[in-house]
Amino acid sequence: MTIVIPAFNQGDYLPACVDHCLFQTHPNLEIIIVDGGSEDGTKAYLQSLQRRIETTTIEPVSSMSESGDIIRAPKTIYPQNRKLIILNFDEDIGATRTYNEGLIKATGKYCTYVVGDDMPHPHMIEGMVSALEEKNVDFVYSDMNVVDDAGCIIRQMRLPDYDFKTCLADWFHLGVSKLYRTGLHKSVGLMDEAYTAANDYDHYLRFAMAGCRFYHLPKILYSVRWHGPDRKTGQHAPARYEKLLAESRCCAQRARDYLNQNHT
């Protein structure tokens, strides 16, 4: 199972994102972090991460001796059954290529990406793996919280059950909390780097048109970070948000054309 974490100048949020991935209840995770050319504290954090995982300990109270002494036993904080891969780029390579650099190296049977300021909930991967296998599908997506920088919930996103028209032709309603079979990359390819904003919309539309089986898991398993109305970077920066809307309109029209062609 592979989690790709694409990051770009998200040093204030990346440690929380990485911890939420490391502490997933699913065992034996491969975690690939791709720094797409950050200029903040991201590179310093990543440089120290492997050692931090291996050596950070605490000494909680474990018991009391017969004489009444408090006994503390050292305990490693982080799970040790994780394969960590860190990819660094010196210059900004763009969001879509940052995703692809991680996805192309994914070796797990299933994969997903978690943007560097978001937070998957502890049972996200375990729950989605179970759904993929029990429902015999290729792609699972779940409901989400939207949280502010303090972690307070400002919105819950309850997504519709899967239908091509509803989730892809009306608009993009698959969200960002997802897990899918890595083998889809071989049959459909990676993200199209011509899409700089709606790269997931295009990618999953191509999955659908290739026969991918989708399933909606109606549980809140993920928190999307919202930085407020003054955010200056990311998808909601004015120029990029307009690009996101333009590319999304293009994808929606392609989905409608596909529906019309296949129902005539």
pLDDT confidence of residue 238: 66
**Rounded mean pLDDT of 25-41?**
95
**pLDDT averaged over every residue in the chain:** 95
Q: What is the pLDDT of residue 237?
A: 59
How far is residue 121's CA from residue 154's CA, in Å, rounded to a whole number? 16
Over residues 221-259, the pLDDT tens digits come to: 999 999 887 654 554 456 788 999 999 999 999 999 999
In whole angstroms, give the CA distance from residue 252 to residue 168: 6
Evaluate whether residue 122 is within a structural domain: yes
Confidence of residue 198 (pLDDT cuts 50, 70, 90): very high
Take residue 57 and report the two structure tokens written for it: 């300990």
Mean pLDDT of 17-32: 97
| Residue pLDDT, tens place only, 67-99 | 999 999 999 999 999 999 999 999 999 999 999
The helix or strand, by DSSP H or E, that contains position 184, with its residue range, turns out to be helix 184-188
DSSP state of 249: H
Q: Confirm whether 179 is domain-assigned.
A: yes
User: What CATH number is associated with residue 140?
Assistant: 3.90.550.10
- What is the spatial distance between Cα 90 and Cα 231, in angstroms, rounded to a whole number? 24
Residue 63 forms part of a structural domain: no
pLDDT at residue 235 in the model: 46
- Please tell me the predicted confidence (pLDDT) of residue 230: 66
- Indicate whether 213 belongs to any domain: yes
**Position 233 in a domain:** yes
CB 129 within 8 A of CB 110: yes
Domain total of the chain: 1
Q: Which tens digit of pLDDT belongs to each residue from 122-144? A: 999 999 999 999 999 999 999 99
Q: What pLDDT is attached to residue 229?
A: 74
| Total Cβ atoms within 10 A of residue 180 | 23
In a domain, 16, yes or no: yes
Whole-angstrom distance, CA of residue 191 vs CA of residue 199: 6
Task: Provide the domain limits for residue 201.
Answer: 2-58+70-261
Q: Look at the pTM and tell me if it is higher than 0.85.
A: yes
**Within a domain: 205:** yes
Answer yes or no: is 65 within a domain. no
